[in-house]
Amino acid sequence: MSKHHQVLIIGGGTAGIMVASQMLKKNPKIDIGLFEPANKHFYQPAWTLVGANTYSYEKTGRSMASVMPKGVNWIKEVVTNLDPDNNKLSTKAGDYTYDYLVVAPGLRMAPELVKGLPEAMDKGVVCSNYTDPRHTWEVLKNFKGGTALFTQPTTPIKCGGAPQKIMYLAEDYFKKSGVRDKTTVVFATPGSVIFGVKPIAETLMQVIDRKDINIRFHHKLVEVDAEKQIAWYELGKDIKAGGCVVMSGDNEGKELDESIQYNYHKLGTIKEGNRFGIKFDMMHLAPPQAAPKFIAASPLANEGGWVSVSEKTLQHTKYNNVFGLGDAAQLPTAKTGAAIRKQVPVVVGNILHLIANNELAGKEYNGYSSCPLVTGYGKMVLAEFTYGSVFAPDPKLKQFPLMISDSSKEHWRLWILKKYILPYLYWNKMMKGIEV
């Protein structure tokens, strides 16, 4: 027995709720079913602030019922199988058919991709704002000095800037708690630059200089030994020929490859074969992340497991009545709520046009995303960019009285935007289907 809906939406996160609410605003008669098993909806961008004790965790969550648009049939089930050839999907309870499908289930945390990480996650001195920001704060509060390691995986992740935001806040907090002078702050990243957008990277390198942070580029995290407090890395880049030592115990620091080390600090790393171990006294990391398993196993996925959609129309590359957006979509831009804010009108416009005229509306997404990079308590930079990592401030945000002329520079007003204005806009406008 299968139930039919005109539009089915998978996911009650930012993308799913926004699509449903904007669609109903434009056409209240449309028949929408939305799959979401969770009872709570979280405003995750504030978790960075929770980890540094400057935002209440309780305030980041609301009941799913309170954000679910009136008129949507909320199906509190987990989707187990997708059959787009027959316009059908399945849950444990049964089958559902659709005219149009919107796929926005978000991504999943995949700590199992790094050896030892599932056992270490959110315990002891290993913390992550991605999973338990309250534990992050406990770790920062109890930190007495030593090596504070901040790191990120090689997989795509939500908000690529988040692993460094908490580092800047932590460094500020260590000054307040009196342990900064006996602390080395290290950022180990698989990337070759601190941020992909040039004007933003320039500002961030000034922050790194000011805060005396050691960056280690091309570092691929392969194992976490929670007991010995060692993070093991492989270098994603061939070290210069001619016996250049990057980091190996006794010789460390004698000859350094500048493209791998910036603002060098001696850490007493351990070398084993082709791996380098960094001993830490606390570690914050973004765990590896992946597409949900039911997506990766479906005909909608590309080789990496993500939903294969057109970069501009967000229509599926094979199935014309399927659209994908948000974190699960294969789009070459940062996975953020700001990206979703610009993706939703494209999906909604195109589906409504297809229903009415059997063709796309000509609405296109330009890859806009934004990362509010908190650089300390009361300081922020707003990284806004489009496809190709082109710095591109949104004229809509410029209208806010608090905005500054150059958002690539640190400013307290941008902190106010992050802490007060954006959460307000999220709950009161974005969730309600009002385009901002």
- Residue bearing tokens 């350094």: 256
Among all residues, which ones are annotated catalytic? 159, 371
Q: Measured between alpha carbons, how far is 12 from 101 in angstroms, rounded to an integer?
A: 14
SS3 sequence, 229-251? Answer: CEEEEEECCCCCCCCCCCCCHHH
Hey, which residues does 4 pair with through a beta bridge?
Answer: 97
Give the dihedral sign, CA 320/309/100/350: negative
CB hemisphere CA count around 419 (13 angstroms): 19
Helix, strand, coil share (%) of the chain residues, nearest 5: 30, 30, 40
Between CA 336 and CA 318 the distance in angstroms is 25
Report the 10 Å Cβ neighbour count for 62. Answer: 15
CA distance 210 to 223: 31
Q: Which long-range contacts (C-beta less than 8 Å, at least 24 apart) are formed by 176-180?
A: 177/141, 177/143, 179/143, 179/144, 179/145
What token pair was written down for 32? 């929408």
Instruction: Please state which CATH number belongs to domain 111-285.
Output: 3.50.50.60
| Residue 150 phi, psi dihedral angles, 5° rounding | -120, 135
Nearest alpha-carbon partner for 239 in 225, 218, 220, 224 = 218
Q: Do domains 2-107+291-364 and 111-285 have the same CATH topology?
A: yes
Parse the chain into domains and list their residue ranges.
2-107+291-364, 111-285
> Which 3 state secondary structure label does DSSP give 152?
coil
In tens digits, what is the pLDDT along the chain, a chain of 436 residues? 689 999 999 999 999 999 999 999 999 999 999 999 999 999 999 999 999 999 999 999 999 999 999 999 999 999 999 999 999 999 999 999 999 999 999 999 999 999 999 999 999 999 999 999 999 999 999 999 999 999 999 999 999 999 999 999 999 999 999 999 999 999 999 999 999 999 999 999 999 999 999 999 999 999 999 999 999 999 987 544 333 334 434 445 455 576 888 999 998 889 999 899 999 999 999 999 999 999 999 999 999 999 999 999 999 999 999 999 999 999 999 999 999 999 999 999 999 999 999 999 999 999 999 999 999 999 999 999 999 999 999 988 877 766 678 999 999 999 999 999 999 999 999 999 999 8
Of the CA atoms within 13 Å of residue 33, those in its CB half-sphere come to: 22
pLDDT of res. 402: 65
| Rounded Cα gap, residues 159 and 170, in angstroms | 18
- Tell me if 42 sits within 8 A of 61, measured CB to CB: yes
What does DSSP say about strands 379-386 and 369-376: parallel, antiparallel, or unpaired?
antiparallel
Task: Please tell me the pTM assigned to this model.
Answer: 0.95
Q: Among positive and negative, which fits the CA dihedral 16, 44, 382, 371?
A: negative
Nearest alpha carbon to residue 304 among 290, 294, 323, 322: 290
pLDDT of residue 396: 83
Report the distance separating Cα 68 and Cα 65, nearest Å.
5
Q: Residue 62 is encoded by which pair of tokens? A: 């609301």
Closest CA to 356 of 17, 24, 5, 30: 30
CATH of region 2-107+291-364: 3.50.50.60
Tokens 């010995």, residue located? 228
pLDDT at 214: 97
Q: What is the pLDDT of residue 259?
A: 80
CB environment 244-268: b (16+ within 10 A), e (fewer): ebbbeeeebeeebbeebbbbeeebe
13 within 8 A of 41, measured Cβ to Cβ: yes
What is the H or E stretch that residue 36 is in? none
